[in-house]
Amino acid sequence: MATPEQQTESGWDRMYVDGEWREASGGDTMPVENPATREPFTEVPAATAADVDAAYEAAAAAQPEWAAKSREERLEYVQAAHDHLQERFEEVVGLLAREGGSAQNKATGEVAISLSDFKTALQQEPPADEERESAFFGESKTHHIVQEPVGVVGIISPWNYPLHLSTRALAPALALGNTVVLKPATDTPITGGLLLAEIADEVGFPDGVVNVVTGRGSEIGDRMAGHPVPRVLSFTGSTSVGKSVASAAGSTVTLPALELGGNAPNVVTEDVDVEQAAKIGAVGSFTHQGQVCISINRHLVHEDVYDEYVELLAEHAESLAVGDPSENPAVDFGPVVNETQRDDLLEFVEQSVDEGATLETGGDADGLFVEPTVLSDATNDMAAACDEHFGPIAPVIPISGDEEAIELANDTEYGLSAAVQCDDVERARSIADRIDAGMVHVNDHPIQDEPNAPFGGMKQSGLGRYNGEWIVDELLETKWISVQHEEREYDLL
């Protein structure tokens, strides 16, 4: 087994399967680039389907012995992984900036919440003790209800919050006795996967318990999702890709745990402190360049405060310090992840202006630095509003009252997150209750994720929930064992 030091010295040109650092079976690699400069800074293996097979086989072979360990033994490994990540906090912040264009506040927050993923796994209530029930039909029989780990968990994580959106599934899966195969996103293979493999190696997890394969989704994504070994497949990404993943997983009767796209409305009523509401709106739209599934995609603002809100939101957009976070930790706003993302964003803006929106600020790009953009005179069916644009674009739509706000908020296929800015909390809660979203935040932005609250969406935004007791439900299986204690008479059915 290669040491972590050897792995680091060689760059990141090995993946981690069955406790070993190994090249891709085909020998190919992929460049990893800093999105701020588009300069490659290392290479990672481009795995093949055979590598995915090897990883799943290793995980399956290791799982019975891992599950047989006591909960306390498993938690010692999870605690050690937490501690190693904590020790490398500043290093990981730098990696998130270099690999994913994360500004300092976002990167720092992501490492912190990833640490909380491990803490939450450590603090989870253990599976319920065996339940015993008397038989409903007949006497002298006892039902024993037990919970067991599902077995192998596959994880496909995205590039926007690569570390956290891997650890939120990995940490509880390991704590509960499952083994893991993780495929990080092509754009962020280090912070989404190889870093965690390195930590697993440093900690000394038994061979095969943690496996990480890096590769292009177009080449190994279907094999990851449709493999017969895993019992649960955790996927975070777009709705269109999520549907394909769910279909592939369903073909092998694998449970798909899906957190998919969003189109979050931010309802702003006429009674608010407009300055505060606009600050909240700016954070909700421009954090991590808007590349967050739960970011504000549409601002639904009451006509009485509309003009002031638009003006203040544009001022916030123009005040952001733009630059390369890996070179200057003081910047607020970095690059988007790649050219495809940039081109799509500029197209959304152009289409919306053609449809009648007014460009208040932004709307252009320098390299991958897309300007923070505010569009006024927007409508719910414009390109930047009806699509999940996944970038720093803030369409502002005027509303006449609460009923129109709710109607527009729900006029989307998505239902992940939402926000309501309203001085009257009772009224705000009434609006929140009627918005079709898995998560709604009153007098705050929707970029929220806490370990003691269920994270997930309605409609086309996914299946299942993450965090705490909610993810536990998806990582354990319930078994019924009945015991007949006395001989009984049997009739043919």
What's the CATH fold of domain 264-442?
Aldehyde Dehydrogenase; Chain A, domain 2 (3.40.309)
pTM higher than the cut 0.85: yes
Distance of CA 291 to the CA centre of its chain: 11
Largest CA distance in the chain: 82
Segment 57-81, tens digit of pLDDT: 999 999 999 999 999 999 999 999 9
Q: Which of 293, 371, 388, 474 is catalytic?
A: 293
Task: Name the pLDDT band for 5 (thresholds 50, 70, 90).
Answer: very low
Segment 243-284, tens digit of pLDDT: 999 999 999 999 999 999 999 999 999 999 999 999 999 999
Q: Is the dihedral of CA 465, 225, 242, 181 positive or negative?
A: positive
The residues spanned by each domain of the chain are 4-260+461-479, 264-442
Residues in contact with 466: Cβ distance below 8 Å, sequence separation at least 6, in sequence order: 168, 169, 257, 259, 454, 455, 456
Q: What is the pLDDT of residue 138?
A: 74
Q: Which of 33, 57, 198, 259 is catalytic?
A: 259
- C-alpha to C-alpha distance for 349 and 471, rounded to whole angstroms: 37
Query: Taking Cα atoms as reference points, which of 231, 133, 246 lies closest to residue 181?
Result: 231
Q: Is 422 a catalytic residue?
A: no
Same fold, 4-260+461-479 and 264-442: no
Q: What is the pLDDT of residue 3?
A: 42
DSSP 290: G
Q: Is 259 a catalytic residue?
A: yes
Kindly state the average pLDDT of the residues 96-122. Answer: 97
- C-alpha to C-alpha distance for 115 and 256, rounded to whole angstroms: 25
Query: Taking Cα atoms as reference points, which of 171, 161, 53, 167 lies closest to residue 122?
Result: 171
- The structure tokens listed for 487 are 């001989």
Letter string b/e over residues 261-273, b meaning 16 or more CB atoms within 10 A of that residue's CB: bbbbbbbbbbebe
Q: Which CATH architecture has domain 4-260+461-479?
A: 3-Layer(aba) Sandwich (3.40)
Query: Taking Cα atoms as reference points, which of 227, 250, 225, 228 lies closest to residue 236?
Result: 225
Cα–Cα distances in Å, from 11 out to 47, 72, 191?
Answer: 16, 34, 13
